[in-house]
């Protein structure tokens, strides 16, 4: 096995942090890096000592869970709490930052955002990143470093099996199974390049 690249290493750290999330809607992790060294990390969840969404469900107002502090904010707040400067740093996030996190990232002096998945990429967030000179780069986490990829594949296989058991049209299930196989073959092909 070859040595892991820096981008894959830091994105894997963010993926690992996302496993600590207490949000039921989306697990997100963020890692702040300066000079190839991790200076902070965060995941989305409730305030310290507060009620968690996993315990009582999400507290949703206008389509947003107001109980959850986003991963990027938690990482930035960790830097603030311990007096760690973020000017010139980079952030690795499992999902494209929301508009509010985008503004906080810009104000913190972070110079580059790496993200593993597009997620409701707000046009104004993209505009603000460009306007402020903050670069963004998609870094897809390779399956071998994605701690959730095996469980995603197993879940998809189970869902396809359940579709067959529920007497769904076999041709429809076969179409989905072929798409599933193509998706995972592409992932394997990408890894072997």
Residues 126, 130: Cα–Cα separation, whole Å:
6
Say what the alpha-carbon torsion angle 28, 38, 72, 12 is, to the nearest 10 degrees.
-20
Tell me the two tokens of residue 67: 């109980």
Does residue 130 carry a catalytic annotation?
A: no
Q: Which of 72, 90, 127, 130 is catalytic?
A: 72
Taking CA atoms, 35 is separated from 29, 81, 86, 113, in Å, by 20, 20, 11, 14
**CB–CB of 111/90 below 8 Å?**
yes
Residues 138, 167: Cα–Cα separation, whole Å:
40
Tell me the two tokens of residue 173: 């299930």
Active site residues: 72
């Amino acid at each position: 096995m070859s040595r892991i690249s820096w981008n894959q290493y830091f994105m894997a750290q963010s993926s690992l942090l996302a496993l600590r999330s207490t949000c039921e809607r989306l697990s997100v992790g963020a890692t702040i890096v300066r000079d190839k060294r991790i200076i902070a990390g965060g995941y989305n969840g409730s305030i310290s000592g507060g009620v968690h969404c996993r315990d009582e469900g999400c507290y949703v107002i206008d389509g947003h869970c107001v109980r959850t502090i986003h991963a990027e904010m938690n990482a930035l707040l960790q830097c603030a709490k311990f007096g760690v400067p973020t000017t010139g740093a980079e952030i690795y996030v499992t999902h494209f930052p929301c508009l509010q996190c985008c503004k906080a990232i810009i104000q913190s002096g972070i110079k580059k955002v790496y993200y593993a998945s597009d997620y409701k990429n707000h046009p104004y967030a993209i505009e603000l990143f460009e306007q402020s000179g903050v670069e963004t780069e998609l870094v897809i986490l390779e399956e071998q470093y994605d701690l959730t990829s095996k469980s995603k594949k197993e879940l998809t296989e189970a869902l396809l099996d359940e579709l067959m058991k529920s007497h769904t049209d076999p041709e429809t299930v076969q179409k989905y199974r072929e798409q599933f196989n193509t998706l995972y073959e592409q992932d394997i092909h990408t890894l072997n390049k």
